[in-house]
Structure 1
Amino acid sequence: MSANPSTKSLFDEAPTRTILIVDDTPQNLTVLGELLQPQYRVRAANSGARALRAAVTDPRPDLILLDVMMPEMDGYEVLQHLREDPTTREIPVIFITAMNATEDEERGLELGAVDYITKPINPPIMLARVRTQLELKMARDRLSQENDWLEREVDRRMRENILIQNLSVRALACLAEARDLETGHHILRTQTYVDLLARQLAGHERFRDSLGGGRLQMVVKAAPLHDIGKVGIPDAILLKQGKLTAEEFEIMKTHPAIGADAIARAMEQALSGADTTTAEQANGAFAFLRVAQEISLTHHEKWNGEGYPKRLAGDAIPVSGRLMALADVFDALMSRRVYKAAMSLETTTEIIVDGSGSHFDPDVVAAFLACRDEFAEVAARLADPEV
């Protein structure tokens, strides 16, 4: 009977298959070898110990024909060792035995044998079963290779998408920062400060939920967009060389809402032309943008409710906004501006500590103090170049 064409093609395209025969009787090794050698590469082992060594020696066997009744180490023990070793676990094993009791077959199958061939051997039946198991193994191997390729491809595309997302975020942040000639490496420093604070607080009971489940990474990634709303502030105010008037400062205070509204409109416009499936997936896809919107809107809020634009207080301020608030103030104090000199780490620390419970969440201040040396290292490493 001819083989199925598709299966035959799969088999014929494969390289020479190696079969390991394990039997302590030389005559059986000879008989089996003569039957198999016209089609397969044949190796032989006359004991369980030698079989285990042969199974991990090149060329590795694609199939093992294993006699059950052998001295010292019987076939069941050999099979158990093969299944315990990750390098031999997937090699199919066919038991060859003179036993025909059902419980003997059950024991072997429970240990992981794929088939039983009873003695005396019927050559056509044995060759058919060997071929069947080799074809199954080739199919499994090919499927495993394809799955490995798919996993690598998915991983590559995910990394590519993440890189594109990061570049897009950085481009938007740099666009906003390009209009403010004094900010320099501000977005890099503040993003790193937020990262330090978030990791310090990730295990804290008050912050665990807000920074868990991948949200910490989203908060850090979104941090550079905190000042994106400054693109809507007139140059005369944004680039003013000196302190702003009260009226100008009121206009400057609109930048958190401008940024948040821009992100909201972007999400709405993206959904307006989306099909039903895309719209249903929006919650997951837009999770990062919602965090960015949250940071933009709330990074100037104060713990005591005297911030802007919403005058939120205490825990009503999202955790992302609380972290960004301290990072932003620390950077502003430590950086030189045309209207002020850079402050020392000690003075900056004093100001932040004084703002605990008024400007800042006290637990965020405690986190800052715990990693203040790392803040100082970032400030020095990413310092703006001297002009």
Structure 2
Amino acid sequence: MSGMPDVASLLIVDDNPANLQLLVGLLLPQHHVRAAISGERALQLCDQGPLPDLIILDLMLSGMSGFEVLQRLKATPATAAIPVIIVSGLNDGEAEERGLALGAADFLAKPVRPNTTLARVQLQLELKAARVALQNRAAWLEDEVRRRIAENSLTQDASILALAHLSETRDPETGKHLRRTQGYVRALCDALHQHPRFEAYLSRDRIELMVKSAPLHDIGKVGIPDGILLKRGPLTASEWALMKTHSVMGWEAIDRAETEIAQPLPFLEIAKQIARHHHERWDGSGYPDGRRGHEIPIPARLMALADVFDALVSIRPYKQPFPIERATAIIEEGRGSHFDPDVVDAFHACWGHIVDIARDHADTAAEVQAHLERLRAHEAAPG
């Protein structure tokens, strides 16, 4: 049978030399056979290895009984799966029942009959080979599932980053903004996942989805005209009104994608919440829907703080970065008006980590200027 060893390894345990000689002589032509004259020696051989494929165990041993040996074998992880055929001269059925209850695979009555013994040994070896084959198949399937999940996750990540970088090609903010805000969101999630108000929502899986979705928060800016995105100077009231539509346009783009694949994906639902609501304010004065307090989805509340903090501490073509301390004070000033108070508390709790992210991935003035020049060159290009 497929999966069976070419030559099986058997261990025969019997304290009667004549019985040992009979079984060894019967099985040796087809198998590799070792013998033990006591239960203690059998366990010692198993400890030393290599482990046998099958054990034939006499129950009526002097010293440690066969029942105790069987119990020890089944209680030890390394030997628990080895099939054990028990042998006994008792004919009242009690030994057989007790042995099978302790985990024996089969029972042979003395005096053993050669053909029966060979058939029972072969059957147990084939059954073991089938179990091993099934375990190997199950392990292969688990590995294949993990591989496919990993591939799907990578494809998903690549698609998200491609969309996010598409937004970057129209946005004065550089790609490091995506990396920084993604890091801030993870830090806030880690600080909040055991908070009584957040722990039910912030499972580890959902945290990963939020971090994965964060780069899509400004995807709607691809629909904003270059003249507004790249304007040198303040926006007019009508221009600002148009700029604010990027949150709804981002939500609509992701929603259409979700509709067309005809299968709800949790990360897309979170991405929609972030895209549409990350400019909402805790007091209801934000946009586009004027949501307030707990009406604002949790992912959007975290993204709101991450986005504002990054805007404060990052260099822009029209401003220098605020000092970390000043930006921190502005976040605190927004507690209960712009931001969820508990999210602000989480910000303070992981402040050191957030500052490290801001500094490790900071834009230089040269990088910002080069990015802006590329955008303006694109704006000026024909077509």
TM category (shorter chain) comes to over 0.9
- CA displacement at 1:25 relative to structure 2: 1.7
1:213 deviates by 6.7
Match of 2:191 in 1: 200
Answering whether residue 344 of structure 2 is matched by residue 353 of structure 1, we say no
Deviation at 1:52, TM superposition (A): 1.2
Partner of 1:383: 362
Q: Which amino acid aligns with 2:307?
A: D
Partner of 1:291: 270
Give the one of 80, 88, 103 matched to 1:89: 80
Q: Distance in 1 between matches of 2:128 and 2:283?
A: 68
> Which amino acid in structure 1 is aligned with residue 143 of structure 2?
R
Match of 2:349 in 1: 370
Give the RMSD, CA atoms, in angstroms: 1.4
CA distance in 2, matches of 1:243, 1:367: 33
AA partner of residue 63 (structure 1): L
For 1:188 and 1:213, locate their aligned partners in 2 and report how far apart those are by CA, in whole Å: 20
SS at structure 2 position matched to 1:158: helix
Q: For residue 77 of structure 1, what is the aligned residue in structure 2?
A: 68
2-structure distance, mates of 1:227, 1:95: 71
CA distance in 2, matches of 1:361, 1:103: 71
What is the SS of the residue equivalent to 1:309?
coil
Q: Deviations over 1:253-296 (max 9, x none)?
A: 0001000001111122222xxxxxxxxxx24xx12101100110
Alignment of 1:74-153 (within 5 A): 74-153=65-144
Deviations along 1:130-188, one digit per CA (max 9) or x if unpaired, are 11111111111111111111111111111111111111111111110122243340011
Q: Tell me what 2:214 maps to.
A: 223
Contact residue 56 and residue 88 of structure 1 kept, 8 A:
no
For residues 48 and 118 of structure 2, the distance between their equivalents in structure 1, rounded to whole angstroms, comes to 24
2:225 is the counterpart of 1:234: yes
Match of 1:243 among 215, 234, 248: 234
SS at 2:120 equivalent: helix
Q: 1:310 is paired with a residue of what secondary structure?
A: coil
CA contact (8 A) 1:83 1:89 kept: yes
Aligned length: 366
The match for 1:33 is 24
Asked whether 1:338 is paired with 2:329, we answer: no
- Structure 2: distance between partners of 1:114 and 1:209: 47
Amino acid corresponding to residue 150 of structure 1 in structure 2:
L
Relative to the length of structure 2, the TM-score reads 0.93
Q: Taking structure 1 as the reference length, what is the TM-score of the superposition?
A: 0.92
Q: What is the one-letter code of the residue matched to 1:16?
A: V
Separation in 2 of the partners of 1:173 and 1:210?
A: 25
Contact in 2 for aligned 1:237/1:252 (Cα 8 Å): yes
Is the Cα–Cα contact under 8 Å of residues 165 and 175 in structure 2 kept in the other structure?
no
Letter in 1 for 2:180: R
1:264 corresponds in structure 2 to 255
Hey, what's the Cα distance between the residues in 1 that align with 2:204 and 2:97? Answer: 46
Q: Which amino acid counterpart does residue 132 of structure 1 have in structure 2? A: L
In the TM superposition, what is the alpha-carbon distance from 1:20 to its structure 2 partner? 0.5
Q: What does residue range 312-327 of structure 1 map to in structure 2 within 5 Å?
A: 312-327=291-306
Report the AA paired with residue 32 of structure 1.
Answer: L
Where in structure 1 do 4 or more consecutive aligned residues deviate above 6 Å?
none
The one-letter code matched in structure 1 to 2:32 is R
Report the alpha carbon displacement of residue 212 of structure 1 after superposing the two structures with TM. Answer: 2.8
| Identical amino acids, percent of aligned pairs | 52
Structure 2 unpaired stretches of 5+: 367-383
Indicate whether 1:301 and 2:280 are aligned: yes
Alignment check: 8 A CA contact 1:166 1:221 kept:
yes
Q: Which residue of 2 aligns with 1:55?
A: 46
Contact 2:12–2:35 (CA under 8 A) maintained in structure 1: yes
* Residue range with higher mean Cα deviation, 66-75 or 227-236: 66-75
Cα contact 2:88–2:95 (8 A) shared by 1: no
Query: Match for residue 3 of structure 1?
Result: none
